[in-house]
Amino acid sequence: MMDKKQLESLRMLYIEVDELAGDIISLKPKVVIDSVTGSTPERPDKHVIPIKGIHMEEYIHLQKKLAQKTRKLLKQIDKMEKWIDCVEDSELRTIFRLRYQKGKTWAEIGQSLGYDRRTVARKCDMFFEN
């Protein structure tokens, strides 16, 4: 059984997943610059050679970390959505979807279902009290 407090966190989980997806997309590999001493066929004397590269280890680690967080949140979301889908009463299921998945206010839900906002809030409260 899911409780009301858990369901209320569903909208924030959606937002958090969106934020993490944005972080993954905007993640840029860190460019590192260093120098080595050596020679080249064009210049056989020892001299300083600047090198530039990407710190792939750190980049891959951050990418995996963000992906792991995202997977964990998606599992939580999936569990909550499945619970809502299993609510037998279609009216309550609709109220839960509108409130906890879509983030609608009680007034918006009441208006779309033809009830006062207090009525839909009460229906929800009564479900969790039983």
Q: Which residues have a Cβ under 8 Å from the Cβ of 125 and sit 6 or more positions away? A: 4
Per-residue pLDDT of the chain (130 residues; tens, 9 = 90+): 889 999 999 999 999 999 999 998 888 888 888 889 988 888 889 888 888 888 888 889 999 999 999 999 999 999 999 999 999 999 999 999 999 999 999 999 999 999 999 999 999 999 999 7
How confident is the model at residue 101, as a pLDDT?
95
Listed residue (21, 38, 37) closest to 77, CA to CA? 21
Q: How far apart are CA 8 and CA 12, in angstroms?
A: 8
